[in-house]
Every structure is written in C-alpha cells, then in structure tokens.
Structure 1
Amino acid sequence: MDHAVPQKKEVLNVKGLSAGYGPMRVIHDLDLIVYSGERVGLVGLNGHGKSSLFLGIAGLTGWQRGSIKLNGVEVGRTRSQGPGRYTHQVVRQGLALIPQGDEIFTGLTVEEHLDSGAFTPRAWRERAERKEHVLKIFPPLRKLMKTAVGRLSGGERRMVSIGRGLMAEASLFLVDEPSLGLAPKIGKGVLDALMSVELGQSAMIIAEQNVALLEGRVDRVIGMHVGKLKGEASASLTFQTRREH
C-alpha cells in the first residue's frame, strides 16, 4: 500500500527583489524560494546584504521593488511611503524576524519579552503553551522569568531574543546572526537550540558569517555577496570572499 508523502509548499517566493536605503541599492534583482520544513543557511560577510534581505521581506528597507510572496500572498509591494508601513500585515501573514544582536528592552523581564512576541490574537491566547515550548528549547530561562533582561549575560539575552521570535504564530522564521558576539561554545549552543525547533510546515532562514556552524546541520547553505545570492555555499566560498576583501 502506498503512503502519501506530505507535499512541501512554498513558504517564501522572492522574485526580482531590489532594495536599499536612500539612493543606495543593497539588494540586486534577487530570487529565492524556500519550502516548508526547510532550514536554509545564508552566509556572507557583513555589508553584503543578509540583514537587508531580511528587512526587505519584512517591509523595513527604505525602498524596494519586486515580488515577495509569503504563503502565496503578495507582501512585497512597491512602496515609497517609508519603512514599516505594512510590516504588521506581513507579521500577521506568518513572518517572525529575529534581528541581529539582542534588540531588547533592558527594564522588561524575560517573561514580558516573551509575551511581547505573541503578537497575533491566536498566539496571545496560546501564550502559556508557547512559553513552555520556548523554555524547553532554552531551559536556562525558566529560572529567570521574573528577572529584568538587562541583568542577563549575553548568551541569556540572545536566548530571550530568539525565544521572543519563537512565540509568534509564524510560518517563516528569519534569524539574523544568532551567534554574533557570543563565545564559540555559547554560539554553538544557540545554534543547537535553533536546530531543535520543530518546523512542521514552517521554514527557517539563518543568516551567519560562520558557515562552519551551519554546514551539515541545515538543508542547504546559500552564499550572499554584494547583494546577490551565489548558489550553494561552503567554507571555501567564505574563504574566497574574505580574500577578495
């Protein structure tokens, strides 16, 4: 008897995306498709467009043109009204952006940060279950729930930042430089936690400079260089890019 294989769906479909800030173009006619269940690594040096690609998908660049479909719905738009005008709609459509660095409010507690990630009505109703899910991924946070985030270590703050993103009702997680500024052992622990997230019909893109943290752990690794995707990447690509600069 044949068993039906679950069909992968397009979670993200980017076509001809150009984006930038003021007169500066950072992303150049970029195409990218990501399917449900995929973890995709995006590697490249600082300044080559990884964060700008994430911001473009979220509608947070200064300007952009091209098509961005999230779960089959066009969210890219061509706009000149300024960044963030439609970002709330993109979030409701299923996006969770976990930005580079901590991006935290030092006076709020760990629990308050996690609650703030439950943006949609469904996520808010399910916030207790979602918090328990985050605490299983990041057990050290359990004893820190009532602690102000400003008192935490760098690794703990990064757990809070990622955990806040995981509270969302998301089908696409964009994780920007999760190991940035962390000691190698702690950075590896953060990546281990991201690998343990059950994606189901969701997808995850992880932007990293350190390709060695991703190789063999994600479904594919794509290089990014001066605002363009360079196909499948490896440690040799990163080494070559460093030599060019």
Structure 2
Amino acid sequence: MDAAAIAAPGGAPAKHEILNVKGLSAGYGPMRVIHALDFIVYSGERVGLVGLNGHGKSTLFYAIAGLTGWQRGSIRLNGVEVGRTRSQGPGRFTHLVVRQGLALIPQGDEIFHGLTVGEHLDSGAFTPRAWRERKQRKERVLAIFPPLVKLMDTPVGRLSGGERRMVSIGRGLMAEASLFLVDEPSLGLAPKAGKSVMAALMSVELGSSAMVIAEQNVALLEGKVDRIIGMHVGKLKGEASAALAFQTRREL
C-alpha cells in the first residue's frame, strides 16, 4: 500500500494524503504569522480549522496557494511539492497550484460585482476540463444553492450578502479541485444565513477530494465535519472543541 495512504474501516477504499504540510513558516514582509506548522489532510475528509481573527487561518490558506509574502517549509498537494519561497513575488506560481488541484474560496465578498451570477460561476472553471464541463458543474452548484437559479442573469453587485456568499462559494466549486479551502464562510452573515451556507458546504459530495473550512464559530462545525483543529498565534493546537475555543478567548 502507498505510504501516503491509511486503511479505512469497514473495507472502504483507503484514504490518501491530499495535503501534507511540514515545517511551514510564512508571513508578510518582516512579520511571521505561521510558525513551523505541520498539517495533513486525507481524501474524503472535511476538516474544520477554528481560531480567532488574526491567528493565521487565512495565511495558512494563502501559503498553500502561494500567495504569502514569503514562506519556508514543504507543501505537497496530491504528492507534488507546491511550496516555494516567495522571493520572486507572491502569486507567481498560484496558477500551477490551481492546476494541481487547489480551489481557494476566500472570505468576504471577493467577487466581480459587474458580472452576472452565471458569468461569475463560469469564471471559476479555470482548467480546460472544468471549462468543458461548466454546464454540468453549474447544474451541481445550483442544486446546492437553489436560490441562485432565478438570479443567473443578475449582476452579483445587486445581491444580498448571503446570495453573494453563495456565488463566491459556487465559483470555487466550479473548479477541478481535489482540495477546497473555504475561508470564513459565515463571516458577516446573519446567523440564519451562516447556517444555510454551512449546510450547503456539508452537502457537497467530496468523493476522493477534501475540504478544509476555516471558521471562528466552532458551533457551526461541531458534529458536521470529520475533525476540528484549533489554531492559535500561528500554530495548530490539535483537536478542538467549543471548550478549546472558549479557552483560546480567555488566553487572549
């Protein structure tokens, strides 16, 4: 058996490493945000990454995508080394990481306000295969987010906050990805809208892919994902729970 695979219970197919991060340090300018971090994600997993704002969740995602100012350490995606120093500029190799199987869904309204919902979803089909399959992929996205069906010709700048978040996540789901990094999906949303967005993420059929969701509200993740890991001042704190989140707030 592949050394990067682990046995699954009940005779299910073995799980393989989608992401393997070793000794990662990353930051911007002189500031170090991530400190010698190790992190492994297996196929079929949904992993919650919880911690307060400013403790490194987004920076970890940006480092995996090659968007930090600088970084050191190893990042292997689907067995291929994608970690690089940023000495030649952040983002230089991000398109290669995307082609290797990464979909980064950033926090907030990182959208193109002048595009319609349909055009916006098309923009997420970056690789040739995803572009060829964009009709079928849009059908899957609309099955996850039914409110978007009647809004396909509407400019996204006219949508509500919850609808814009659906579009942003839907764009990421259009990608040909084996790893989905979802950053703060409930940020800025009303509690009901945040729960709806999280429920939609839980309904995504991963198959042999994996999903990591960064979130401050651990209650939205408990009982819904396979693992929850705490993050504090740029380091992972192991398996997390609501109690750990409360402890982290007290430490601050």
TM-score by length of 2: 0.95
Letter in 1 for 2:148: L
Q: Which residue is 1:229 aligned to?
A: 236
Q: Which residue is 2:80 aligned to?
A: 73
Structural mapping, 1:26-41, within 5 Å = 26-41=33-48
Q: Which residue is 1:185 aligned to?
A: 192
Equivalent residue in structure 2 for 1:151, among 142, 151, 158: 158
Q: Shift in Å at residue 4 of structure 1? A: 4.9
Q: Shift in Å at residue 27 of structure 1? A: 0.3
Equivalent residue in structure 1 for 2:58, among 51, 62, 68: 51
In structure 2, what is the Cα distance between the partners aligned to 1:38 and 1:241?
25
- Structure 1: state its 5+ residue gaps: none
Contact 2:66/2:86 (<8 A) preserved: no
Once the two structures are superposed, what CA deviation does each residue of 1:2-30 show, in whole Å capped at 9, x if it has no partner?
x8531111000000000000000000000
Q: Which residue is 2:7 aligned to?
A: none
- Structure 2: state its 5+ residue gaps: 1-9
Once the two structures are superposed, what CA deviation does each residue of 1:19-56 show, in whole Å capped at 9, x if it has no partner?
00000000000000000000000000000000000000
Q: Shift in Å at residue 78 of structure 1? A: 2.6
In structure 1, what is the Cα distance between the partners aligned to 2:247 and 2:85?
35
Equivalent residue in structure 2 for 1:135, among 117, 137, 142: 142
Contact 2:69/2:86 (<8 A) preserved: no
Once the two structures are superposed, what CA deviation does each residue of 1:107-158 show, in whole Å capped at 9, x if it has no partner?
1100011000000000000000000000000000000000000000000000
Q: Shift in Å at residue 241 of structure 1? A: 1.2
Structural mapping, 1:57-96, within 5 Å = 57-96=64-103
In structure 2, what is the Cα distance between the partners aligned to 1:129 and 1:58?
26
In structure 1, what is the Cα distance between the partners aligned to 2:135 and 2:163?
20
TM-score by length of 1: 0.98
What is the CA RMSD across the aligned residues, in angstroms? 0.8
Partner of 2:15: helix, strand, or coil? coil
% identity of equivalent residues: 86
Deviation beyond 2 Å, 4+ runs, structure 1: none
Q: Which residue is 1:165 aligned to?
A: 172
In structure 2, what is the Cα distance between the partners aligned to 1:13 and 1:182?
32
Q: Which residue is 2:124 aligned to?
A: 117
- Does residue 212 of the first structure (1) align with residue 187 of the second (2)? no
Q: Shift in Å at residue 79 of structure 1? A: 3.4
- Does residue 126 of the first structure (1) align with residue 111 of the second (2)? no
